[in-house]
Structure 1
């Protein structure tokens, strides 16, 4: 069983049913092919709260929906020069969400888009290029 999978309500009920039939945690784990830690967690939760349902995830929900993230990604892929401020305004008009530029920037960083500027390079004249080539040759020997 993968880490991100949740047990169905039926399997949780089966664990409690086996527990009520005086099966040990190890036997329940072996019968249902569930890790012992999960079996014991289900049983203790059932004893404490009297329920086997899972609680909703804690924490604040995301402001940016998947649709909004998709729109941001498409906008950035079309034009890389668009600022986060203009993207936030576009989202406010199209989706009706009040999203700050900080949220847009955070989501762009999460998607792998980072603001990078090219390094400024000095103007290389023919004389400078000649000196640079001589310096490189002398350094090799």
Structure 2
């Protein structure tokens, strides 16, 4: 047998060659003659021509494929279980499958869920919301949906955050060859206990970023009041907000303490009435994420350097980024209403 015939036996013939076989057959040539002329096995010719007579085509017809390991009824039942309880485990689904009379493996169950567009993912951590929290968020969203953009541009948004020297935020990817994971250029240096961290207070408006302050020691109401006294009006002045701006802060106990409230009242600061447990609404959360990414790309080696780099990167945040975040605030409010006060994607 020739090399070409051996290939023909192991591979599907091109459609052009199958058409030539049929054409020769229609001109009156026999199987043996067609086999010799086109250098294909006689058994192949004998297989192609009857299929052409039966189906009227030389195209490859769809094959039935391997039968499904799980019935469509069983798959629909699993999907219902997942929709009722998204946190259900594959082992629990396996027990459900057995109870329905379909003893399926974990891989079969996973594949069936994938076919329905359901994939296992790490659950996002969100604040625990009570009915009261959700109601407050809905009322806040309804109240401020109609605010003008001019009003939003006069808001000074504030918050605190913690940035670690070496921590989860320093996760990075590297291009490397197999077996070189521990080569020095492919590693990120770490120290015990994360190397420490710094707490920051910052603020911004649609006009750009305001002051960024490193908090020394433990934060309490008195220290928070001092931060406001030293930085609030100066930030508003730098951002040209004037005296009649609105100050946003969350409901942290330090922010709502008596001495803080007294200072804000004595200084005639208009405070935005903010709903509790609502980090999804705070546009400054996006700036914190931007800052952490920028800082850890520069790999600070100690806390002094970390603070310096934080302040440098905070000043580098473009005004356009701040404008966009404030302009997108209505979308956050709409998302809150769509979720009926529950956590959103923001």
Using the size of structure 1 for normalisation, the TM-score is 0.50
Distance 1:74 1:117, change over 3 A: same
- Among 128, 133, 137, the residue aligned to 2:200: 128
Query: Aligned in 2, Cα 1:118/1:56: closer, same or farther, shift over 3 Å?
Result: closer
Larger Rg, first or second structure (1 or 2): 2
- Inter-partner Cα distance in structure 2 for 1:44 and 1:68: 39
| CA deviations over 1:75-126 (Å, ceiling 9, x no partner) | 0101100111210111111x21120011000111111111111578xx9349
> Which structure would you say has the larger RCO, counting Cα contacts within 8 Å and 6 or more residues apart?
2
Tell me which of 108, 117, 124 is aligned to 1:112. 117
Distance in 2, Cα, partners of 1:117 & 1:87: 18
- TM (norm. structure 2) is 0.23
What secondary structure is seen at the aligned counterpart in 1 of 2:161? coil
Task: Name the SS for the 1:128 alignment partner.
Answer: strand
What SS does the corresponding residue of 1:124 show, helix, strand or coil?
strand
Whole-angstrom distance in 1 between the partners of 2:106 and 2:93: 8
**Corresponding position of 1:78:** 84
Which residue in 2 is equivalent to 1:87?
93
Structure with the largest fraction of helix: 1
**1:13 alignment counterpart:** none
**Which segments of 5 or more consecutive residues in structure 2 lack a partner in the other structure?**
1-48, 56-60, 126-159, 163-197, 203-211, 213-290, 292-309, 320-346
CA distance in 1 between counterparts of 2:118 and 2:112 reads 9
Provide the secondary structure at the position in 1 that maps to 2:103: coil
Stretches of structure 1 that go unaligned for 5 or more consecutive residues are: 1-40, 48-54
Alignment of 1:1-141 (within 5 A): 44-46=52-54, 57-93=63-99, 95-118=100-123, 124-125=161-162, 127-130=199-202, 131=212, 135-140=313-318
Aligned Cα RMSD in Å?
3.6
2:102 is paired with a residue whose SS is: coil
